[in-house]
Amino acid sequence: MNWLAHIFLSEYNIEFQVANYLADPLKGKVWDNASIHIKNGMAIHKRIDSFTDSHELFKKSKNRLGDKGLLKSVVIDLTYDYLLTKNWNRYSSIELESFLKQFYNNSYELLPKLPSHASTPLKRMIDFELLNKYQTLEQLNEGLLRIDKRLSAKLASRDKTSLYFERVCENIEEIEKDFLEFFPLLCSIVKNETDSNQLIHWKN
């Protein structure tokens, strides 16, 4: 799952949410004296990724993009964020714009309390509003093109995420069916492994 999903799949606590995002750029490494919310947010990120990567529905979505490909998981991660944005009101009791505004504001207040190696990627995410970049298929394609610019020359010579965009569009209805079946299962996993009383932004 991509960043918006990770932050939604968090206790409604800014340290927990931020840690669920930072687990990727920090490779899951918690710094000294990190709070329990930071540790728990990092831990649930790993659980989300493990459940997602091994699930048959996620694999089914990947297979809709073809039999081969090095970057299909990345493409489906982003496509699922697009589909979460599209279906946001199915799952959240808070409108997306309000949810993101509060998250960005709270994250900005948290920045001075974080070590520099954690605050740098978080500030970049805030400054570029990276959580709200997949509202349309066109924006999804722009996101894939941005990822391609960051690929190593060696990997880019073998595969690019933007090469899958046409297949995503051709199969988007079936991929959305996969997502709508998969996401509640993932929510159940998170609910069982967090303080469910802190999931106040989720619809019951």
Question: Per residue in 89-136, pLDDT tens?
Answer: 999 999 999 999 999 999 999 999 999 999 999 999 999 999 989 999
3 by DSSP, 3-state: which?
helix
The 3-state DSSP composition of the chain as helix, strand, coil percent (nearest 5) reads 70, 0, 25
* CA–centroid distance for 52 within its chain: 11
* Alpha carbon 61 to its chain's center: 16
CA 197 to chain centre: 22
Q: What confidence tens digit (pLDDT) does each residue in 142-195 have? A: 999 999 999 999 999 999 999 999 999 999 999 999 999 999 999 999 999 999
Report pLDDT digits (tens) over 43-76: 999 999 999 999 999 999 999 999 999 999 999 9
Does 38 score more than 90 pLDDT? Answer: yes
* Percent of the chain's residues with pLDDT above 90: 98
Alpha carbons 91 and 106: distance in angstroms, whole number: 22
Each domain of the chain, given as residue ranges in start order, spans: 56-195
Question: Is 37 within 8 Å of 48 (Cβ atoms)?
Answer: no
Place of tokens 């106040």: 200
